[in-house]
Amino acid sequence: MVDLESIKQLIDMMVSNDVMEVTMKKGDEEISLKRPGPAVAPVIHAPHPAPAPGPAPVLTSLTEAPSPPVSDDSHLIKITSPMVGKFYASPSPGAAAFVKVGSEIHPDTVVCIIEAMKVFNEIKAEVHGVVEKIYVGNEQAVEYGQPLLGLRRP
């Protein structure tokens, strides 16, 4: 059924004519195309739906955060901050980081320390995976739910 060339042409027509949605059914065949609205790239549903992105950090002008994870990180497992505080990548100044890109980690692996109210909290991975992204710089402030690491399945 999926005639890619036809779909490509359909999408072109949608984009150039500002069409938001096309649905076609015939028997048990169905094609559905949707675009979010004017001036935005078409999102094609089916075959594989994209997972919802994790919570994006709001306004962190205080913390000079690197750019938040964008959609191409969506396949990664995120370890998020369970509290508000200051992120430490290593157990003490000058020491090696708990994890780096490529580290394979296990649920019990300590991945960072978050300091809140003078208490240093070791944060464990709780999952198994290989570190592919580290979103937060050393000594940066983090909020609840903020992605710290992105892992791929080992």
Q: What's the chain's length in residues?
A: 154
Out of 58, 70, 72, 108, the only residue in the binding site for other proteins (CB under 8 A) is 58
Of the pair 81, 109, the CB lying nearest other proteins is at 81
Cβ 4 vs Cβ 31: under 8 Å: no
| String of contacts with other proteins for each residue 16-45, x by CB under 8 A | ----------------------xxx-----
| String of contacts with its own copies for each residue 1-30, x by CB under 8 A | xxxx-xxxxxxxxxx-xxxxxxxxxxxxxx
Secondary structure class of 28 (helix, strand, coil):
coil
Rounded to the nearest whole angstrom, what is the least distance from the CB of residue 137 to other proteins in the complex? 14
What proportions of the chain, in percent to the nearest 5, are helix, strand and coil? 10, 30, 55
Strands 110-116 and 85-88, bridge-based pairing: antiparallel
Tokens read off for 99 = 């994890």
For residue 139, state whether it binds its own copies (rule: CB under 8 A): no
DSSP 95: S
Cβ 70 vs Cβ 82: under 8 Å: no
Binding at 92: pick from other proteins, its own copies, none (beta carbon under 5-8 Å per type): none
Rounded to the nearest whole angstrom, what is the least distance from the CB of residue 25 to other proteins in the complex? 29
| String of contacts with its own copies for each residue 24-63, x by CB under 8 A | xxxxxxxxxxxxxxx-------------------------
For residue 146, state whether it binds other proteins (rule: CB under 8 A): yes
Q: What are the distances in angstroms from CA 39 to CA 7, 19, 33, 132, 135?
A: 19, 11, 16, 32, 30
Rounded to the nearest whole angstrom, what is the least distance from the CB of residue 113 to other proteins in the complex? 13
Which among 18, 19, 46 has a CA at the least distance from the CA of 32? 46
- Given the rule CB under 8 A, which residues bind its own copies? 1-4, 6-15, 17-38
